[in-house]
Amino acid sequence: MGKPKIRFEGYSEDWEQRKLGDITTKIGSGKTPKGGAAAYKDDGIALIRSQNVNGDRVDLSDVVFIDEQTDEDMKNSRVLKGDVLLNITGASIGRSAVFTRELRANVNQHVCIIRTKGSDASPEFIQLNIISSNGQNQIDSFQAGGGREGLNFHQIGKMEFLYPGIEEQQKIGQYFANLDHLITLHQRKYDETKTLKKYMLQKMFPQNGEKVPEIRFDGFTEDWEQRKLGDNIVEYTEKTTENNQYPVLTSSRKGIFFQTDYYDGNQIASADNTGYNIVPYGFFTYRHMSDDEIFHFNINDIAENGIVSTLYPVFTTDENLDSRYLQYQLNYGREFARYAILQKQGGSRTYMYLNKLRNLYLTVPTAIEEQKKISEYFTNLDHLITLHQRKCNELKEIKKYMLQNMFV
């Protein structure tokens, strides 16, 4: 008996403890089709494997199919709408989802079907209990040793949870279904926007020696021109004269950060950072060495002045080259990528000192206005990507918190 910390209004009764085996009509899995992977077809009846049960949903994007005869041979493991599917072997053990589709499907031996007795328990509520910390702890307790090896049907039937009345179960299930819908929506928008960015980076910069890109903003018709980068960038060499004169920055492939934020409150810079390079707001910095010929150029947009190790050159652009435009072209363009590969001269590392970077030739728009249009377009895409990623992470944190507080 017990009650959760957070509860919908209008419900006050204690929850009752029940075993899964007492409120289900089926706990069982399928088997490997005769012939193994050779039995898979291009279409037919969906065969749900452990990789299809992921992220609290059934993902059929890479599902395989079996024919009618194989399905008949495996008729005891046919999936019905409303079944809870639970992964019971391997690294994905404990992942679960409710099958919500009107679709003929079966499961293999790695996925267990949990089928409720109808009005006794909501499938959605059972699945939420399984993914809660209580459910995952019970799964861990059944494993011998430290690893998650496998669950048997007897162990699953012994799993115990507290249940409210069916109406409250359904209300809780609907609340989390709405959360999952929002998470999926923002994840989809995030993925779509990243795909669009990748596509447009290929189309809005000239390819294979061309003088104009395939996609271009209206009003611009001039050929792009080849420029030596050294003609449009200016090195900045000012260094700190005292310790901790400005905040230490970390320039990474993920972007630029305050070092204490990047390393969870720790600063890994030298105890005395006198003599570090100063990076004014709006200026570039990058790590001048790479183990895989990939370099990432960042612009300081987080501090009026920051500091970096002397291993990180600092520079800016002149009035004929837009900084944000250059950042996108350096980080994603093929001209710099090819140039970086050519700089490797034995050893495991590639070095891109600023004097080498100056010798890079890039194909750029003649008009600064076109450069700015391009950089604004990709900056807006990046803002959308960050927005959807942040919203997705926030919703996942809310779900995690509510799973801890809406269940006993």
Instruction: Decide the pairing of beta strands 249-252 and 64-66.
Output: unpaired
3-state helix/strand/coil string of the chain: CECCCCCCCCCCCCEEEEEHHHCEEEEEECCCCCCHHHHCECCCEEEECHHHEECCEECCCCCEEECHHHHHHCHHHEECCCCEEEECEHHHCCCEEECCCCCCEEECCCEEEEEECCCCCCHHHHHHHHHCHHHHHHHHHCCCCCCCCECCHHHHHHCEEEECCHHHHHHHHHHHHHHHHHHHHHHHHHHHHHHHHHHHHHHCCCCCCCCCCCCCCCCCCCCCEEEEHHHCEEECCCECCCCCCCCEEEEECCEEEEHHHHCCCCCCCCCCCCCCEEEECCCEECCCEECCCCCCCEECCCCCEEEECCCCCEEEECCCCCHHHHHHHHHHCHHHHHHHHHCCCCCCCEECCHHHHCCCEEEECCCHHHHHHHHHHHHHHHHHHHHHHHHHHHHHHHHHHHHHHCCC
The arithmetic mean of pLDDT across residues 238-246, rounded, is 96
Question: What pLDDT score was predicted for residue 264?
Answer: 80
Q: Of the given ranges (238-247, 323-332, 346-355, 357-366), which has the lowest mean pLDDT?
A: 346-355
From 100, 118, 88, 127, select the one nearest 23 (Cα to Cα): 118
Question: What pLDDT score was predicted for residue 321?
Answer: 98
- Does pLDDT of 64 surpass 90? yes
Phi/psi of residue 364, each to 5°? -130, 155
Measured in whole angstroms, the distance separating CA 216 from the mean position of its chain's CA atoms is: 30
- Does pLDDT of 204 surpass 80? yes
Measured in whole angstroms, the distance separating CA 237 from the mean position of its chain's CA atoms is: 38
Question: What pLDDT score was predicted for residue 37?
Answer: 84
- Does pLDDT of 180 surpass 70? yes
The arithmetic mean of pLDDT across residues 368-374, rounded, is 98
As beta bridge partners, residue 15 has 2
Q: Could you tell me what percent of the chain has a pLDDT over 70?
A: 98
d(CA 205, CA 49): 42
Question: What pLDDT score was predicted for residue 149?
Answer: 75
pLDDT tens by residue, 372-407: 999 999 999 999 999 999 999 999 999 999 999 999
- Band of pLDDT at residue 348, cut at 50, 70 and 90: confident
d(CA 176, CA 298): 39
From 331, 364, 353, 335, select the one nearest 232 (Cα to Cα): 364
Give the max Cα distance, the chain: 79
Question: What pLDDT score was predicted for residue 346?
Answer: 76
Q: What's the angle, vertex CA 180, arms to CA 176 and CA 184, rounded to 5?
A: 175
Residue keyed to tokens 């600023």: 354
Per-residue tokens: 20: 């899964």
pLDDT tens by residue, 89-129: 989 999 999 999 999 999 999 999 999 987 779 999 999 99
User: Dihedral through CA 220, CA 223, CA 226, CA 227, nearest 10?
Assistant: -30
- Does pLDDT of 12 surpass 80? yes
Q: Could you tell me what percent of the chain has a pLDDT over 90?
A: 87
Question: What pLDDT score was predicted for residue 233?
Answer: 98
Phi/psi of residue 303, each to 5°? -145, 145
CB of 240 within 8 A of CB of 274?
Answer: yes
pLDDT tens by residue, 257-312: 999 898 886 767 678 999 999 999 999 999 999 999 999 999 999 999 999 999 99
As beta bridge partners, residue 54 has 57
State the distance between the two ends of the chain, measured CA to CA, in whole angstroms. 9
Question: What pLDDT score was predicted for residue 119?
Answer: 78
Mean residue pLDDT of the chain comes to 94
- Band of pLDDT at residue 147, cut at 50, 70 and 90: low
Question: What pLDDT score was predicted for residue 178?
Answer: 97
- Does pLDDT of 344 surpass 90? no
CB of 153 within 8 A of CB of 27?
Answer: yes
